[in-house]
Amino acid sequence: MENQYLTNYLKAHLRECQLKQVAILETIDAICKKHNIQYWIDSGTLLGAVRHGGFIPWDDDIDICMMKADYDRFIEVAQGELPDNMFLQTRQTDPEFRSSVAKIRDMNSLYIEDCDDFSANYQKGLYVDIFPMIDYPDVPLSFVKRYAAGISKCYDILHKAHHYSLRSFAEFFWFGMKYGIYKCIWGAAKLLKPKSPYFSYILINNGYGIRHRHDSTFPLSTIEFEGKTFPAPADTDAYLTDLYKNYMEIPPEDKRHIHAIYVHPDLG
């Protein structure tokens, strides 16, 4: 049952959260400009910029992307460039953090989602997600949806918390075997069809089998988001159509969800 008090609390603090996330994005932008690192706003952030000129009104996160080489360079330099109140969160900088996506966290806040694990000691402040992107082989979209999505699903199952039982052992074996087979087939496709106009998220992050064309993304353009200018794909219509199909359609009210289940924007 919905807790109306908590729902009202989240709505009342949503704008404060959004503005803190914009501040994180501005810090990332400054670091990327200083070190000549390319990135662009992605997913719901890009959709919000196109459809609303800023955040989707009920959204409470920011997503950006970098090609893998730029992502690796950003990870190398970011921690030394961030202000004291921000933290680069990866599996290496925060060992109990399990996600494959890097985050820049605001340390003076608390942001809790359904997926958060309170038995693990990792930072849980407001954040911006940074997704690494890689080139894909020149294969049909149906192949991408089967194998990239299959790899992502198997990875998620293999890396979730397991309880010791015969079922969990069988599940681990079955999905481990599938994961290995999918990876081998994908590797063969990359060897046989290496030159491709396509790229997308690293495989373990591509559960929906999404892909984009290089020539609809690069060279990057710019777009206004919350009154500021940030990098964006060259053809935002093509990019958002790849992600959402009819992206200008506003979802019904019962589908407009804030991601957080609890947030404290300023710990003071």
H/E stretch holding 48 reads helix 43-52
User: Is the bond into 231 cis (omega within 30 degrees of 0)?
Assistant: no
Residue 256: pLDDT above 90? no
Q: Phi then psi for 50, rounded to 5 degrees?
A: -75, -45
pLDDT band at 171 (very low <50, low <70, confident <90, very high): confident
**Per-residue model confidence as pLDDT tens digits over 111-155:** 998 888 888 899 999 999 999 999 999 999 999 999 998 999 888
In terms of Cα–Cα distance, which of 199, 203, 200, 198 is closest to 185?
203
In a domain? residue 78: yes
pLDDT band at 158 (very low <50, low <70, confident <90, very high): confident
Interior angle at CA 162, CA 160 and CA 168, nearest 5:
115
Query: Which pTM does this prediction carry?
Result: 0.91
**Per-residue model confidence as pLDDT tens digits over 187-204:** 999 999 988 999 999 999
User: Which residue range forms the structural domain that includes residue 169?
Assistant: 141-195
In a domain? residue 20: yes
DSSP letter (8 states) at residue 164: S
Residue 163: pLDDT above 60? no
How many domains would you assign to the chain? Answer: 2
Judgement on whether residues 145 and 255 belong to the same structural domain of the protein: no
In terms of Cα–Cα distance, which of 264, 260, 265 is closest to 61?
260
H helices, E strands: number in the chain:
7, 11
Round to whole Å and give the CA distance between 124 and 103.
10
Instruction: Say if CB 244 and CB 237 are below 8 A apart.
Output: no
Judgement on whether residues 97 and 228 belong to the same structural domain of the protein: yes
SS3 245: coil
In terms of Cα–Cα distance, which of 3, 4, 48, 50 is closest to 22?
48
Stretch 67-96: mean pLDDT = 96
Judgement on whether residues 129 and 145 belong to the same structural domain of the protein: no
pLDDT of residue 165: 60
Least confident of 110-124, 151-165, 212-226: 151-165
In a domain? residue 227: yes
pLDDT of residue 236: 98
Residue 235: pLDDT above 90? yes
